[in-house]
Structure 1
Amino acid sequence: MPRFEYKVVPAPRKGEKVKGARTPTDRFAHALTQMMNELGRDGWDYLRAETLPCEERVGFTGKTTTYQNLLIFRRVVEEAQTTDRLPADLPAFFRPEGTPAPSALASSLRSGADEGQRGLTAQAPEGQAPSLGPARGGLAAE
């Protein structure tokens, strides 16, 4: 089964001036054609257009909802790239960089049954705990 990667770009808001394009519709169509051809040269296939809501700030405390027009493209990821980039148990975009895979975390768990404890415990490296200040600046401990 092929794997895909996706790219989302904003749709052009206005047309470009070009010789022979007299109406705003012609100019807009030309701008859209140029964008799609550029991405097509890089191997991206047009998938669909979406209009999605986006909440934006207005003034100091206000909010308003605007709608963004987006174009969605995809291309096939080669199998050699997918095995290098994605771990077996979890796609990379679910974990921040540097976070171990779940299989690596599972190997750090040990059973507490041999020490008379119940359940599983995690082994953490020894080190100093961070220094914590007072919970509230002006209050004394009671």
Structure 2
Amino acid sequence: MDDSRFTPEQVASRSGLAQVDRDVKQWLVGLPISERLDFLKRLWPLNYRYSLKLLQSAQLPRQENEYMFRHWLRAGHHNTAQELIKRLQPVLGERKFWLIASQEELSPTMRDFMNYYSHGRLNSSRDVKEKSGPGHI
């Protein structure tokens, strides 16, 4: 990132509601996709909520949104489960969100929290996937 107008450390304390947040969003959209992804990854451990808000407005292609979701499921702490559901389910679509979540190898605690906040939706998606797996007609 040659343009260091914003760094993850500079925006880590942001909530997403101030004028500067609009500037951050516009700046982020102007970056090449790989730099947007890198910025969001680096911001995640500093402020995962703000990272998710920025992802929603980052205008990333579908594959990159899915990539970030997979990455954050694997790297994220279980305390992020509720915010992942809240912010990424609308971006990916309900069906795709739960399909991806059911395919990822989650920590037992992350799986429990995803199920808790979704009222068992993760287990339901997993059951459907297993029933329609190989050898099942």
Greater helix proportion: 2
What is the TM-score with the length of structure 1 in the denominator? Answer: 0.21
